[in-house]
Amino acid sequence: MKNKQNSILKSASSRIKPFAWSPRNWVQLSVLILTMLIGLQFYFWVRQIESGGVVSIGRPPGVEGFLPIGSLMGWKYFFLTGDWDPVHPAGMVILGFAVLISFVLRKSFCGWFCPVGTISEWLWRLGRGKNGRNIVPPKWLDIPLRSLKYILLVFFAWAVLLMDSGSLERFFVLPYWKVSDIKMLYFFTGMSGTAAIVILSLVVGSIFIRNFWCRYLCPYGALTGIFGFLGPTRIKREESTCIDCNLCAKVCPTYLPVDVKPQIISAECTGCTSCVDVCPVKDTLDFKTIGLPAGFWTSRKLVFAIGGLFIILVITARISGGWVSHVSIEEIRSILPDIDFLKHTSGF
């Protein structure tokens, strides 16, 4: 029996590689490439607007996924008035998708879809491949640092909650909000030395510490984590068949104690299912959703569920007119000369 366990353990251990590829990684790569193409299209669209000539390139709505605070304001405005933000509507769709999929399938937006999360994961895998391991901060430091992203979320959420429908409506007509995506682009194309140092520090930190930005500082991840915690899906472990190999805990990107808990309900779980995939004993670990049979979710089904939901939401938003911005090119051109002076609290 012991020899059989050792054989199973040896076979499973060989599956833990720095860059093991899975269906989830194909989703991550596809979304990352799509994001890069959206970024390029947006860049050239802005350049054509700046030139004052004919604009032959369409504005990619997907760029609004990087305006989550404004999208959160848009959702509050929608719940208060029933009106959809006409300036950056796609941002609301993407935020809604992130929350919905994370509620249903843990924090899977972060583990499967977010391009920043993908880059962060590749960086720590690179660091593990080069150094053989990642740095694991002690609990007395790790727990306070993890609270930072929730503090940031509370700060932004509280600011939004204090706004009434009138305040939100006034914000949505500000020139600042109408070109906020272009201001974001200018932040990167005209990056200051301080901003470059901060981003470089995050990159270096992500090489040595798993998901440094996502784990400690991302308020978006804090929001999806809360919904994932409240959702119906859990990682469940069958204690009677577990051989205590600890492989599940070793591959967990968020250091969750999958190997000792009967189920994982932590808000840090990204729904990546790496623990389930590496488990050498069939039916011992399960990505289980209440109401669905054991073993229902496979990597391929998750690909179709996550990708399919996103496509359905985008198509629905396009048909209903809630995907494309209603701000005209002429209006944007009239605002651009003063873009450096725009504030979120007033027009200028």
Neighbours of 342 (CB within 10 A): 20
Tell me the helices (H) and strands (E) count for the chain, helix number first: 17, 3
SS3 state of residue 314: helix
For the chain, percent of residues with pLDDT exceeding 90: 89
| Mean pLDDT confidence for 183-201 | 95
pLDDT at residue 16, as a whole number: 55
Where do the DSSP E strands lie in the chain?
A: 233-237, 263-264, 285-289
CB 23 within 8 A of CB 302: yes
pLDDT at residue 131, as a whole number: 75
Q: 297: pLDDT confidence band, cut at 50, 70 and 90?
A: very high
pLDDT tens, position by position, 166-179: 999 999 999 999 99
Task: Spell out the long-range contacts of 163-166 with Cβ–Cβ below 8 A and sequence spacing 24 or more.
Answer: 163/73, 163/76, 164/80, 165/77, 165/80, 165/81
Q: Which residue type is seen at 248?
A: C
Distance CA 28, CA 113 (A): 6
SS3 state of residue 263: strand
| Mean pLDDT confidence for 29-57 | 96
Query: Quick one: how far is CA 229 from the chain centroid?
Result: 15
Q: 10: pLDDT confidence band, cut at 50, 70 and 90?
A: low
Where do the DSSP E strands lie in 192-256?
A: 233-237
Worst-scoring range by mean pLDDT, 127-131, 180-184, 206-210, 241-245?
127-131
pLDDT tens, position by position, 154-165: 999 999 999 999
